A and B are shown apart, each in its own frame.
Chain A
Amino acid sequence: MHYEKRKIMRFISLLVLMIGALSPAWGALPAEKRVLIVVSNVIDMGDVEAHDARNNLWEVAPPYHVFLAHGYEVDFVSPKGGAVQFSMDPVGISSYTIKYEGFADRASASLAPSEVDSSKYNAVFIGGGYGPLFDVASDPALLSLIAAIYEAGGVVGGCGHGPGAFANVVLSNGDFMVAGRKVAGFPNSTERSKSWANQGELLPFLVEDQLQKNGAIVINKDNISDKNDVIIDQRIVSTMFLPSATWVAKEMIQLIDGGQSE
């Protein structure tokens, strides 16, 4: 019994020593693949009742975990840089990634657009929450950044209200990035049925309307069998609702690793 105890203690000590010894070397390795997560600085919708805007933790944290666990370095960028706020309680994988994967540290030190070198990124992801509709969607520097990553062969992904934030991205040829592409985003029918933004009246625009206006082929509950499906059209990956946020991240990784190009 005591002999076995000594054996297990030796095993655990060895394990800890090995990890400890390797970690500086791992830290020094250059990150080959990077993803930029775009988040909002907006906290509320600016109305009298201060309806919650912010970023939806459940649409940002799980994809962060997926990117990280597949070897991607992840940076956050927001219109103003610095700390950003999240709605929803930290539970499940969101809680895990906050506690054990540095999510909070990264998100609380988001970069400003001027600090970002678009050529370093393989992809850009925008999660939901209403926040991005209020600032990201109309921020010229951020929209240019997304366009630059996309035009350099990068993948653009979004979930929920995120696709509304990239609906206004204009490419160098003057076309909207989403023009002619199948894109899913938070549907009008759901927006109109919820009080979160007074049936959508507090929003600068409805996601589906804006995508349609800018030439996207909008995927919604009327033309899809499963509302949680992930829509992939060349290098744009999108979905309507938060349960599929991780699947968007996984599909983005497949596109990047598979070297998908137009």
Chain B
Amino acid sequence: MRNRSSALSLSIAVGCGLVYIFMLAQVFGLLLVPNPINHWLTENLANTGHEVEYRVAVYAHDFLVYIIVAIPVAVVLARLRPINSWRYLLVALGASLMVQYWDLITDPAGLINLAKYWHFYVGLGISVFALPLTFAAVASVGKHCAPADPDRLTRT
């Protein structure tokens, strides 16, 4: 019974990872199309020679968007039993990274090529850290608000 429950939780975690990446694709591909922030940053920073400021602002903007999109996913992951388990986070994160970087996983030449660009590491960093940080925040809030988890009593 416990195994079945664990398998179900792992499946939900994989689903969370896939939903997360789907939502990011929707947000960056559709919802942010009329977003004036990118346009403003380009006009006022990139096109006026403030390259460093532009990069910092645009990466901070993207990281924030990742965090916002990650909130509902992190909430679901944190509620899987045993609650606040980093195992499910790892599974979801793995699934999302697999989908996002599938082309590069299947074509190492592309990965080797992109590894020459420092920008790539920023994107990878955002992809790797946004969900765990959101999860940590959600888990921390949940720990203070939620009733005690009975599962914890049985865990060592």
Contacts and interface: CB of A to CB of B under 8 A. Distances in A.
B103 interface: yes
B22 interface: no
A29 B120 CA distance: 17
B39 interface: yes
A11 B97 CA distance: 14
Interface residues of B, number: 40
Interface in B57-114: 58-59, 62, 84-87, 89-90, 103-104, 107-110, 112-114
A176 B114 CA distance: 36
A125 to B, nearest CB: 16
A19 B124 contact: yes
Contact of B103 (A22, A29, A69): A69
Contacts of B33: 89, 91-92
B34 to A, nearest CB: 9
Interface string A117-159: 0000000000000000000000000000000000000000000
Contacts of B136: 5
A95 B32 CA distance: 10
Q: What interface size band does chain A fall in?
A: 20 to 34
A92 B28 CA distance: 6
A71 B103 CA distance: 11
A238 B121 CA distance: 33
Nearest to B46: A104
Interface of B: 28-29, 32-33, 38-39, 42, 46, 58-59, 62, 84-87, 89-90, 103-104, 107-110, 112-117, 119-125, 128-129, 132, 136
